[in-house]
Amino acid sequence: MRRTTAFASVLAFAAPILGQQIYDIWATTWDRSSIFTYTNLSPNPINFGSPGAIGDADIDITDASTFQSVWGFGASLTDSSALILNNLKASNADSSSYWSLLEYLFDPTDGANSAGFSYLRIPLGASDFSAGLYSFDDTSGDTSLSGFNINRAPSYLFSVLNDIRSINNVLRIHILPWSPPGWMKDSGTMNGGNFLSNYTTVYANYLLKSLQGFQSKGISVYAISIQNEPENSNPTYPTCKVSASQEAQIGIALRSLMDSNGFSGVKIIGYEHNWNDAAGYPITLMQDAPNAFAGVSFHCYSGSVDQQDTFHSAYPTKEIYFTECSGTQGTDWWSDIKWYMQNLFVGGITHNSHNGLMWNLALDGNGSPMLPGTNSCGTPCRPVVTVNSDGSWSVNQEFYSMAQAAKATLPRDAGGPWGKRIGVSVGGTLSSALTVGAYVTGRVNSADWLRYSLVVLNSNDHPNGPWDPVPVQTTIEFRGMQATYTFPVGVTTLWWYAPNEGHSFDGEFANATATFGDSSEPITFTEQPAGDAGVVEDTAVKVDANAEFDEDDVHYAENVDEQTRLFKFRRQLQL
């Protein structure tokens, strides 16, 4: 039975009374004087009033420009992560430390002292973070898959997953293999090699059985992918080269099997590899199998985030996900947070991603345990949370980056819609210091005011050359009114409430126990031209009640200023 953890205090929610007012602020500063720290400004909120002179920076919000929904942040629950967490659960009699950690990571309740991570990626079979090699059918030549057994996965994987699900009922679960069974490859092993096309139908059935295996354990899957990093073959851990044409044929076969076996609402997400080939593999995949795939996902290890726009421009109605990036031990805390916000958790969303994920959810202080012999993390990989052998734990810069972003887009109401990205631009003499994401979250009761959120990175730490972190006095423009806030060097998330002036959230729902992606009648609304530079708008945008990516017909062309990446982890590629 899930243990509930009582928080020392309940964060108060102060509803606006006289016009638009900012009461709620979460902040993580460069010097860690605030680390995911909540402030309620009652009884002295920041008021929106008549506009005046702009600040050193000026954030201009165009809420008539509505883009994709944001469906959560999180990480991969690898076998190693599940083992570490399961060991924590067993380390003390009442498991209080374990449940406190899960609450802090996953509780999605509005106002809770938690990140509300709501998207988990789970390997099917072994990865480089498993105790040993295994697939769900290691019987060579078993084309009937009579030896398939979902319980080849360690039992603690499902135990920890169900504990997380008991805390977060809007959790999206995305499953995918790091390799097909070795006998379906020219290498004869899960480590490295190339997929053999004559096993296309067998492998599609293997993936269907994986879905059925999760279903047999009462776990609903949101999405499935066919192969992690299909352009990577490494003989030291589970990997497999699968060409775009091969993945397309597997996807076509799998989509048909899923539709015929009760999984029509589960999405197939293609590619699952780096930004640098956004113009290649993902586009070929959509050309070959446009009806099989809901979209594609990207990793961070090569290329730049703006390359997501290449795919979006070619296929604006297909979804984009961001599903993997890993920090490494020994890098700078604040530099990492800046890079994450600019490129993933604000920048990735600006470039049309529906989510943002890191790699391992939990590891020990050595970045372990890893698959024996793997070279995938030459410098130890850093997880979102480090769990120590004495039962203590600490969260890392990956947590703080994602937590700040997650607070802006979680459903405001139980069963309510997720936040959507809206139009925003930044002006003023210090505009280059700020990286900004703007979002609107609908309400269950149509009479309730909408929540508007900003996630703001202030990277003004070298304004005149040497190190000198300087806050930026900023004006915020919204519906012809103006508020003023001085953003510290760090990441700030704030929100306010305002009446609904034409946004449609009909048909959206947050309950992950429902079936995702079922067809329904689209709802059409008309957006008013905003006139912002960099925004190309359609006047009639269809919003599908569940597959909301139709809204991506509205293009957003803002470029994120790239910085040199300060952590050097790269997967070792065997060409």
One DSSP character per residue, 427-472 reads ESTTGGGEEEEEEEE--SSTTSPEEEEEEEEE--S-TTSSS----E
Calpha distance 451→443 (Å, rounded): 8
Calpha distance 401→396 (Å, rounded): 9
What 435-438 contacts at long range (C-beta under 8 Å, 24+ apart), as own/partner pairs, is: 435/341, 435/342, 435/346, 435/347, 435/459, 435/560, 435/561, 436/59, 436/346, 437/346, 437/349, 437/350, 437/405, 437/408, 438/59, 438/61, 438/63
pLDDT digits (tens, 9 = 90+) for 144-167: 999 999 999 999 999 999 999 999
H or E stretch including 86? helix 79-90
What is residue 557's predicted lDDT score, i.e. its pLDDT? 23
Question: Of 103, 229, 247, 551, which residue is the catalytic one?
Answer: 229
Q: Domain spans of the chain? A: 21-68+418-509, 73-408
What is residue 19's predicted lDDT score, i.e. its pLDDT? 65
Kindly report the pTM of this predicted structure: 0.86
List b or e across 317-326, with b for residues whose CB sees 16 or more CB atoms inside 10 angstroms. bbbbbbbbbb
Structure token digits, residue 74: 């999180």
Q: What's at 309, amino acid-wise?
A: D
Question: Is 521 noted as a catalytic residue in this protein?
Answer: no
What is residue 501's predicted lDDT score, i.e. its pLDDT? 87
Closest of 444, 454, 437 to residue 496, by C-alpha: 454
**Ordered per-residue pLDDT tens for the chain, 575 residues:** 444 433 333 333 334 334 699 999 999 999 999 999 999 999 999 999 999 999 999 999 999 999 999 999 999 999 999 999 999 999 987 899 999 999 999 999 998 999 999 999 999 999 999 999 999 999 999 999 999 999 999 999 999 999 999 999 999 999 999 999 999 999 999 999 999 999 999 999 999 999 999 999 999 999 999 999 999 999 999 999 999 999 999 999 999 999 999 999 999 999 999 999 999 999 999 999 999 999 999 999 999 999 999 999 999 999 999 999 999 999 999 999 999 999 999 999 999 999 999 999 999 999 999 999 999 999 999 999 999 988 999 999 999 999 999 999 999 999 999 999 999 999 999 999 999 999 999 999 999 999 999 999 999 999 999 999 999 999 999 999 999 999 999 999 999 999 998 777 654 543 333 333 332 222 222 222 233 322 222 222 222 323 332 333 222 222 223 222 322 232 233 33
- Whether the Cβ atoms of residue 491 and residue 337 lie closer than 8 Å to each other: yes
Number of Cβ within 10 Å of residue 563's Cβ equals 12
SS3 173: strand
Calpha distance 452→442 (Å, rounded): 9
Angle (CA) 347-295-559 rounded to 5° is 25
What is residue 505's predicted lDDT score, i.e. its pLDDT? 65
What is residue 111's predicted lDDT score, i.e. its pLDDT? 85
Question: Of 103, 247, 272, 324, which residue is the catalytic one?
Answer: 324
Going by CATH, does the domain composed of 73-408 fall within 1.25.40.10? Answer: no
Beta pairing class for 450-458 and 555-556: unpaired
Question: Is 319 noted as a catalytic residue in this protein?
Answer: no
Closest of 318, 315, 331, 325 to residue 348, by C-alpha: 325
Distances (CA, A) of 37 to 116, 313, 574: 15, 38, 44
- Whether the Cβ atoms of residue 270 and residue 245 lie closer than 8 Å to each other: no
Distance, CA of 97 to chain centre: 25
Q: Would you identify the CATH topology of the domain 21-68+418-509?
A: Immunoglobulin-like (2.60.40)
Locate tokens 């640098």: which residue? Answer: 276
Torsion over CA of 431, 338, 301 and 568, rounded to 10 degrees? Answer: 130
What is residue 547's predicted lDDT score, i.e. its pLDDT? 34
Calpha distance 28→198 (Å, rounded): 52
Distance, CA of 272 to chain centre: 13
Q: What's at 528, amino acid-wise?
A: Q
Structure token digits, residue 543: 């919003």
